[in-house]
Amino acid sequence: MTPSYLQAANNFQLYPFKSIGFYHWAISIALSLVLSACAHYQPLPLTEDSIQQQLQTPSREQLTIQAAKIKHPLLEPVKFTMEDGLSPDEAAILAVLRNPELRVARDQHGIAKAQLLQAGLLPDPQVSYSFSAPSGGTDLSMSNAFGLGLSWEATALIWRQNKITAAGKQQQSIDLQIAWQEWQIAQAAKLAAYQLIVYSRQQALLSEMAQRLEDNRARLQEAAELGLVTELERVAAVSAKNLVDIRLLALKLQIKQQQQQLNRAMGLKPHEVVNLQQDIELVAAMNAPAYDALIHNVENRRLDLMALKRGYESQEERLHIAVMQQFPQISIGFNSARDNSNLYTMGFGVSMTVPIFDRNQGQIALDRATRQQLFDQYTSRLFQARADIAELLVTIASINKQIQSVRHAIPDLANLVNAYQSGIENGQVDVFNYYVAWNSLTDKKIDLLNLELQLVQAGIALEVASGLYHVATDFNEKKL
């Protein structure tokens, strides 16, 4: 009879790969390879210095370089010439570069990119190891038993390409959503700049009116003390001056609030002063394109509609995947084992799910309902875009007529003021009537500025609704 130690030596020589030490060595090597390919943790501390560095306003040179290299489906690179003040278009670009909300939105691109990477990865194989030692009995020559298995889900190959396609469409959708948000914030900053320009011009007109009314009040006060005018006339002059002062204070508050909104849109500090270009010409009339021309191909111009379409296509792939996953999922594997009688075995195994109860019905129903929701959302947004364009065209046409009416009234009022001024010099007209006419002329000029601002606002809204940049300026008549 062969001694047990010789039998063990022979087993090791005949089956060197079956020894327990070999399996331990193989597992150690495998774990070392896996760990060497793992990602490493890198801390990102949320400190005061890192926050201040993120919120710091870049220099003018840095902004100029960034603005010249901006990449956006609608916005074009611009060259900053901030010496003469910030123009509305430059404010729009600056908002895209500096708005903190857009930084958060752009982080979604990294998330979508990671999801695309995850979609292309196959499931990891599963390795199993078992060990058992005799704990009792009469046969003390029984060996320790162990088993090693390797399995992998083969059906993951079936829908891998669908998962990659779905993740790719989703990434495109997110990128378009980011571009749409950039576009909206840029247009909001552009409108805020126009509003500040108009408000400053209105402030100049109201300040001039307030000074005239103060002069008129002082004259009437002296005349009332001499008994040349009634107390009612003096009180009316004081009341008129007070009303203009209230309007002026309200406008100054509006300017401060609008300045804060513009700073917030451009990512600037609250008390940072931005000098705007004051020689910007406002439009006298807007000749917008026809409705049919604006709605033609709007679904391929509006970034939000394009994003919804890519999201719908991604959901189509997800539903396709869910339908394929209702069928059995198959895993294949190999195993090697030794039992307590020192018998080595090697084998092949196949396992699959039996689709009796689940059959992925819940996920299919969820994905189908989500697809319907995205379909309805897309059609609703498209309907809303067309309706907005129609309403804005009506609004623009109405504002054009109002501007034309006010612009025709201003020369008549100006002639009346000149006539009163000549009458005062000749002693034929009361100063009070002259001030009334002059104030009426100023009110008309303020009304005209309000209408022109409304026209700019409607034009910018039309740009957003139609997905056409410069539609508010390419079809306009500048003020003479």
Give pLDDT tens digits for 360-411. 899 999 999 999 999 999 999 999 999 999 999 999 999 999 999 999 999 9
Q: In whole angstroms, how far apart are CA 340 and each of 25, 129, 137, 138, 146?
A: 21, 16, 12, 13, 8
Q: How confident is the model at residue 6 (pLDDT cuts 50, 70, 90)?
A: very low
Question: Is 338 inside any structural domain?
Answer: no
Question: Is 71 inside any structural domain?
Answer: yes
What is the pLDDT at residue 319?
A: 95
Question: Is 177 inside any structural domain?
Answer: yes
Question: Does 3 score more than 60 pLDDT?
Answer: no
Domain that holds residue 88: 43-134+158-325+357-475
Question: Does 464 score more than 50 pLDDT?
Answer: yes
What is the pLDDT at residue 176?
A: 92
Our count of domains for the chain comes to: 1
Question: Is 152 inside any structural domain?
Answer: no
Question: Is 118 inside any structural domain?
Answer: yes
Question: Is 7 inside any structural domain?
Answer: no
Question: Does 142 score more than 50 pLDDT?
Answer: yes
168-223, pLDDT tens digit by residue? Answer: 999 999 999 999 998 999 999 999 999 999 999 999 999 998 998 888 888 888 88
Question: Is 38 inside any structural domain?
Answer: no
Question: Does 18 score more than 70 pLDDT?
Answer: no
Question: Is 370 inside any structural domain?
Answer: yes
CATH no. for residue 53?
1.20.1600.10
Question: Does 7 score more than 50 pLDDT?
Answer: no
The half-sphere exposure of 178 on its side-chain side, counting CA atoms within 13 A, is 23
